[in-house]
Each structure stands twice: as structure tokens, then as C-alpha cells.
A and B are shown apart, each in its own frame.
Chain A
Amino acid sequence: NELAILEFIHLLVETMDRHFGNVCELDIMFHLEKAHFMLEEMVMNGCIVETSKSNILAPIQLMDKAS
């Protein structure tokens, strides 16, 4: 479903925005692993697994707190 993919891309950007606060390419560049983590939370094995922003960001925030 092509339109769903469009939605997904939108969701991804919004999640990153929520985490980084007004995300731009620099953020992605400097925190590439975090961007990858986020993406991994959302997509796995080719399908969309998580669509709730809080659920996605929770483990990442945990990681940030621990480091």
C-alpha cells in the first residue's frame, strides 16, 4: 500500500523530530546510531511493528539515560 508507506515516512520523521527537537540533517549525521535505533524499533523484518511514538522513544531514552 503505497499511501501507507507515505504515512510511515511521515511518522518516522515526526518521531525523530520528537526525540531531537526540530530535527535537521546535522542531527542525523551526528547521531546516526540513534536514528538507526529508532528505525529499527519501528520496522522489523520488513513490516511496521510499532507506531506509537512513546513506545518507540522509550527504549532510546532509556539508553540515553544509561550512557
Chain B
Amino acid sequence: MARDLAPDVERLLQFRDPNIRKKAALCSIRIVKKVPDLAENFINPAASLLKEKHHGVLLTGIQLCTDLCRVSAEALEYFRKKCTEGLVKVLKDVVNSPYAPEYDISGIADPFLHIRLLRLLRVLGQGDADASDCMNDILAQVATKTESNKNAGNAILYECVETIMSIEDNSGLRVLAINILGRFLSNRDNNIRYVALNMLMKAITVDTQAVQRHRPTILERVKDSDASIRKRALELVYLLVNESNVKPLTKELIEYLEAGNYVKDEVWHALIVVITNASNLHGYTVRSLYRAVQTSGEQVTESDAVDVIEVAIKHHTTDLTTRAMRIKDIIVQDKGNLVLELQQRSIEFNSVIEKHQNIRSALVERMPVLDEATYSGRRAGSLSAAVSTSQGAALNLSNGVAKAAAPPLVDLLDLSSDDTPAPSSSGNDFLQDLLGVDLSPASSQAGQAQKSGTDVLLDLLSIGSPSAQDSSFTPNALSKSSQDDKTSMGALERLSSPSASSIQASSPAGGSPMMDLLDGFASSPPLPEANGLAYPSVVAFESNSLRVMFNFSKQPGNPRTTLIEATFMNKSSVVYTDFIFQAAVPKFLQLHLDPASSNSLPESGNGSITQKLRLTNSQHGKKALVMRIRINYKVNSKDTLEEGQISNFPRDL
């Protein structure tokens, strides 16, 4: 059909009515796209369209020419030779034209026409020096004259910059263009900043020097409030890194690492690759990162330390590297995985192949990860002592790196033994308060466990869910964005979900107890060692004034129902009266409360109230128990209310 209609359309291109001409031009664009052979027929009429007065027709004519040039090289040549000056003249007219009410947009006459013309000039000028020469003046004029306080002006400037970038080398104009981009970067409008950063990324391949001059502005953008701007600024900085400026840049970036949460891991990884490529900075970066790890304990820095170590250590086995890359690509925030990787690498150094297989299968399928991870963790634990020495030997690269790398490695693996006596960060304290766990039993267990924090990590994994939940309790201290995914699921209003799904699930749950562990070096699992009692009693809820303990038992032959005996103890020195305990459970649980033993709770633990609860879990084995509790009591005739959520039920209830 296109072929049949082509001659008619061609004729219409010269019709009287401008509207018809406009539509005919558009039609020809369509035809040319569909049947590129017919393009030659349209070249001549298209050229005549370029001399139109009517803006609408002019616009479509230009579009037709652009498409023709794209479609056929012959057309490109033709236009280059004949029409460039004409186009330049048209542009000049449009730029210099007086105020035209019809086409005026915020002070500029027909910016769309400007932009379209510039685009055509770009196509014509690409790769051709002569055409580019013609355009230089007009481009410079547009670039300098257009006012940039309005968006229309900015749009024109942007197009102009893009054109300048694409046409043949003219350094003066280039500098001008990049200055314009720099000005954009300081603009208050986020859109413009975004666009400028994008453009700068493209410009950097052409001319790095000029962009370097804008480095401080770009660094400022890295701290912008908008996430996508931050991301682009970061990529730009990564591109900007070269030998001379890498030191101050990395210092900035490392500071930023502590604050940055939104950037994808791939960018970080690439960044770190660049940093470590500047080998003289290996020692410096690793040391400063290690310092950052110690002081802040931020999760992001943690993984970065791991990354740096990984790169610095220079894997012997390529498949390990590719898998590390692949895993990074697949799982963005799988920190637990990273730590296992580290162990795995340590094992690699000792080149025990069968263990490698074990862990590989464990990493690939996450469901049975617990058993195998425990196994490999235990093996890793026994080997980790040997690891630090062998690592030191294996690292012939640079001593600075070796020394710096070994302590973080050992630190990561030996968490509990160093830190049980006193938790180092406030996040840890908060966690403790919430869990109400005394540190001493934990430390003795950890002492028994002997060593690699891996075992404790893995115990946390197996009892994993409760701490995952508690960590979502402490949003400011510990949780990261991964928590948000978890909160969306679940039966209870706010926090209940993760326990069930996180057991099965996988990376987030596996990650978050690790996260808790790594962040606060919290070696205190919420429950005592799971392989101790079948159903240990737990401190369900603890506040400054009250402690609630739950003792569990099950009726034989009825695994779905759990009998809980709740014991309430008063921690303050005032007696509580009118003590009422209420509880709510998600839909898959049924709760039955027996009356409490009494209504008044003597002070300072002189006595306690007990109350029996019966919980039936219709999803026994699939979902763990969770409960929200509310306690009302009177202190000196003043009503007090305490609420909380209990999620540290033993997993197999």
C-alpha cells in the first residue's frame, strides 16, 4: 500500500494548504520508514519543505529530512551538501526572530522548532567536518544567547549541548558545552540535574579534562537527596577516577559509603575494582575501610570490606570469581551469603574440594541451607584458626594488604569471643533490652561454641526468624531496606510476618540475623542454644518494669496445641494492682486464655502472677507462633499500659 500511495503523497507535499502539506510530510515519514527504497523520491520535495514559512510544515519537513538521513546515506549526503547553510539560516532566523505570540513559549519563539533544527544539524554534522564548521557560529550563538532560567531555554541548551558533543571536534565549543552542563548541575531543579549528569557521563568519553573541572559539583551531587541523582553522580565519579585524583576521591567516597544505602551493589563493586586497581592505594583503602568497619559497623561498609578483601586477595580459582560475580548480580543484599563466601574462600585456600561442593550446593539452593551451612560452618570454624596464618602466607601481593586483610577476616569470624563481655554499639543494647536476654548465658554458650562466629551465626540462622523480627523492631538501629519487603507480608498489622516466611525464605532472613550479628557484634541469640531443651522457656517480653516469661509444653499426640504458662514478674519497687494481660494472635492461631492466678503483682520480684494460655497452630510446621500482648496495670492508682510483640517462640512449636 505504501508503494501505491507514495506518488500521491509526493504530490501532496506541494499542495496549497499548509495543513495538507504537513500531513503529507508525516505520511511520507511513515512511508519512508516502511519502505526505505522509496526514500529517493522524497528527497527533493523534502528539501523544498525546508524553506517553508509555516512552522508546522517546517517542523514536519525537518522531521522528514532527519528520518531520510537516517534511512539512506545518499539522502544524508545530499542534505549535507545542499541544505546545511539553508538550515543554519533558518535557525538563525528563528533564534533572532522577534516576539511571535503564536509560537511563544515563556519568551522563546517556538522552542520545539529550535530543538528539531538542532537535531537535524546534529545528524548532518556527525562525522563531517565541513558541515560542522558551518554550524559552529550558530551553535555558539544559541548556546550563549538562550536564557536558562526557564525550562524551555534549558531544553534548547540541552539539545545544543548534545549537538556540540556529536559533531566534529571543536574544543572551544566543547568547553562551552560542558560549562553549560556544569551550570545545570547547580540548578535547583532535579530534572535538570539528572539530565546534566546523564549527559556528562556521555561526555566523559569524549573529553575528560573539562569534566574534571566540575568534579566538586559532582561530588556535591553525590550527597543529593534524590536517589537516582545520587546513583548517577556516583557512576560519574567512578568514571572520573584516574591516578591523580583517586586519593581525595576515595576519601570522599569512603565517607559516603557510610551514608549510602540506595546504590546498587554492582556500582559499588565496580567502584572498588577501580580503587583497587590503583594498587598503591590498596593498603590505604583497606585500612580506612577496616577502620570504618570497626567504628560504624554499617552493613554497607561491611560488605565493602569484604569486597575489597576479595579483590585484594586475588582469587586463585576463576570459577570462584565468576560465581562471586554472578551471585552478586543475582542477590543484591545477601550479606549472609557474602560471609559464607568468605568462609568458603578460606576453605578454598586450603583447597578441600569436597567441602567446596557442599557449600556450593548450599549456596545454590537456599532451602536446605541450614543443615549444610551448619556443617560447613563447623568445618570452617575448625579451620579458621589455621586460616589466618595460611592467608598471611598466601598473600604475597602486598604486605600492607595482607596485614590489613587478615584482621578483618579473623574479626568477622571470631566475633563472639571478642565481644561477649560488653556490646560495643548502642544498637546492641537496644536489641538486648528488647530481647531481655542476659548476656552471661550467651557468652558461656559462645565460649563453648568456641570460636568462629560462624557457629553462632548459623545458630542464629536456625533460630533465625525471631531475631529477624526483632530487628524489624529496631528500625533506626539495625534494619535496612530489606526489612521493608518483609513487613508487607503477614497477618498481624505491623511486624509479625517474617518469622514464618523467613524460615523458608532465604536471603533476607538469612541475612538479617547475620546483619544483627555483624552490626552490633551481637553474639547473644535470642534463645539459649536450640540443641539444649526441646522447648526452652523464653523471656517473652521485658521492659524496665516488667518481665514476662513463657514456659512451653505440648500435649502428647497433639503437636499443634501448645500450652504456655506465662509468668509475670515485677521489676520495680512498687506493687502493681489490677493487673490484666491480653493477647492477640494472627488468624492461623487460636488462643485461649485461662484466668490469671491473681491481679496484683508484688514488687521487686517478691512474687509473681501466672496465667495459662493455650495456642493452637493450624499451620503447625509451616508458620511459627507470634503474639501481640498488652498489659494493663495500676501503679499507685495510675493506669499504665505496656504493649509488645512476642516473636521469639521456639521454632518448632
Residues on A facing B (Cβ under 8 Å): 1-4, 6-8, 10-11, 44-45, 47-55
Contacts and interface: CB of A to CB of B under 8 A. Distances in A.
A67 to B, nearest CB: 20
B200 to A, nearest CB: 15
A48 B26 CA distance: 10
Interface stretch (B153-161, B170-178, B320-328): B153-161
A63 to B, nearest CB: 14
Contact of B155 (A4, A45, A55): A4
B112 A8 contact: yes
Given A55-B56, A55-B102, A6 B112 contact: no
B222 interface: no
B191 A52 contact: no
A52 B53 CA distance: 13
Given A3-B158, A7-B152, A44-B26, A51 B59 contact: yes
B203 to A, nearest CB: 16
A1 B159 contact: yes
Interface in B21-73: 22-23, 26, 29-30, 55-56, 59-60, 63
A52 B55 CA distance: 8
Which of A6, A7, A10, A44 has the most C-beta atoms of chain B within 10 angstroms of its own C-beta?
A7
A54 B103 CA distance: 9
Contact of B110 (A6, A47, A51): A51
A51 B113 contact: yes
23 contacts: A1-B119, A1-B158, A3-B192, A3-B195, A7-B105, A7-B111, A7-B151, A10-B105, A44-B23, A45-B26, A47-B29, A48-B59, A48-B116, A49-B26, A49-B56, A49-B60, A50-B56, A51-B55, A51-B110, A52-B55, A52-B102, A52-B103, A52-B110
A32 B56 CA distance: 24
Chain B contact surface mostly? helix
Nearest to A55: B56
B115 interface: yes
Nearest to B29: A45
B116 to A, nearest CB: 8
Contacts of B158: 1-4
Contact of A2 (B22, B30, B191): B191
A4 B56 contact: no
Contacts of A50: 22, 56, 59
A7 B155 contact: yes
A53 B26 contact: no
Contacts of A49: 22, 26, 56, 59-60
Given A1-B155, A1-B162, A3-B191, A51 B26 contact: no
A54 B100 CA distance: 12
Contacts of A45: 26, 29-30
Given A45-B29, A51-B113, 20 more contacts: A2-B195, A3-B154, A4-B111, A4-B155, A4-B158, A4-B159, A6-B151, A8-B112, A10-B105, A10-B151, A45-B26, A47-B59, A47-B63, A48-B112, A49-B26, A50-B59, A51-B56, A51-B103, A51-B110, A52-B103
A16 to B, nearest CB: 15
A67 B146 CA distance: 44
A55 B22 CA distance: 12
Which of A8, A51, A53 has the most C-beta atoms of chain B within 10 angstroms of its own C-beta?
A51
Contacts of A54: 102
Interface in B611-648: none
Nearest to B154: A3
Interface string B93-119: 000000000110100001111011001
